[in-house]
Amino acid sequence: MSLSLFLVQVFNGLQYGLILFLIASGLTLIFGIMGIINLAHGAFYMLGAYVAFGIAQSSGSLVLAVLGAVATMAALGFVIERVLIGRLYNRNHLDQVLITFGLILVFDEAQRIIWGSDVHSVAIPPALSSSFQVSDIMAFSYYRIFVTVVCAVLAVTMALVIQKTKLGMWIRAGASNREMVSSLGVDINMLFALVFAAGAALTGFAGAISVPLTSVSPGMGDAIIIISFVVVVIGGVGSIKGAFFGALLIGLADTFGRVLLPQFSSFLVYAIMAGVLLWRPQGLFARA
């Protein structure tokens, strides 16, 4: 592998990892803080993409589409937490899995009714549609680079919010000791609803911003949810930092695995997860 190809693949791995991070960060917050295994997280990703597609189709503006998708998913997340998830905190994981699995079915059917089973796509906005050559043949579109930068900025912003703000402090405290936080007078119900809404909005954003790069199609959420859980488990449940490094690790391992070990690429990421579980069962960045 030449140096230039190596660098191209490193960028590909980082780019994939950063998108994974956006999805997994919401998942790990919801899982870590609220103790909810949200199987419908992938469906949120799919809905984000479809809403963005719908808005882009009618308005022609991708910016509007992404904003609309984020707002829709945040609102939807808030309502779902208040109406459904909020009733399940004292129930066991099986009940939560059942209801979030039910949500997948509902969202998949809603998607089919509203948008049909066709495959859709949105063009890359003209301002970012050009690309630059990284080798004599290979090029990167500016939109791909733009998405990568936006994801990186969001990751840093999230780290700052979690580490430096009062809200972040509550979230961290909530992740380690729920009862203590509520006894300190924090409105834990509102905090949970906000965290759930933020998680849905983040993954909706990931879906929306990916639309010009991917195809909008039924079942697109199913593929992403499993790999996102792998990231969460590797990084440590509830840890944003863990989700970040877990996502980059998986992004790079998957990218290089495909090229260097194609026969094993489909289970390479699971092998890494198994290895991490053996070595550090709590994940790389969770407190023991």
Partner 1 sequence: MNIKTSRRKFLQGTGAALGAAATGFPTFAIGQTAKIKIGIMMPFTGTYAQLGEAGFNALKLALTASGGKLGGRDVEYITLDDESNPARGPANAEKLIKESNVDILYGTVHSGVVMGMVKIARETGTLLMIPNAGAGAATGPLCAPNIFRSSFSNWQPPFPMGKVAYDKGYRNVVTMTWKYGAGEEAIGGFTEGFTALGGKIVKEIMVPFPDVEFQANLAEIASLKPDAVFVFFAGGGAAKYVKDYAAAGLRKSIPLLGSGFLTEGVLQAQGEAAEGILTTLHYADNLDLPTNKKFRADYKKAFNKEADIYAVQGYDAGLLLAAGFKAVKGDTGAKAELYKAMEAATIDSPRGKFTLSKAHNPIQDIYLREVRKGQNEVIGVAHKALADPARGCKLTG
Q: Enumerate binding residues for partner 1 (CB under 8 A).
A: 1-2, 5, 8-9, 12-13, 15-16, 112, 116-121, 123-124, 131, 133, 135-141, 143-144, 213-220, 223, 254-256, 258-259, 262, 265-266
**What angle in degrees, to the nearest 10, is found between the helix axes of 3-34 and 240-260?**
140
> Between 157 and 215, whose beta carbon lies closer to partner 1?
215
> Least Å distance between CB 101 and partner 1?
16
> Between 12 and 38, whose beta carbon lies closer to partner 1?
12
| Residue 20 and residue 228 in contact, taking contact as beta carbons nearer than 8 Å | yes
> Between 107 and 285, whose beta carbon lies closer to partner 1?
107
> Least Å distance between CB 227 and partner 1?
9
> Between 223 and 271, whose beta carbon lies closer to partner 1?
223
For residue 159, which of 282, 74, 237, 244 has the smallest C-alpha distance?
244
> Between 3 and 288, whose beta carbon lies closer to partner 1?
3
> Least Å distance between CB 121 and partner 1?
4
> Least Å distance between CB 80 and partner 1?
23
> Least Å distance between CB 237 and partner 1?
25
> Least Å distance between CB 103 and partner 1?
17
Backbone angles phi, psi at 213, to 5 degrees: -90, -20
> Least Å distance between CB 132 and partner 1?
9
> Between 15 and 203, whose beta carbon lies closer to partner 1?
15
> Between 81 and 254, whose beta carbon lies closer to partner 1?
254
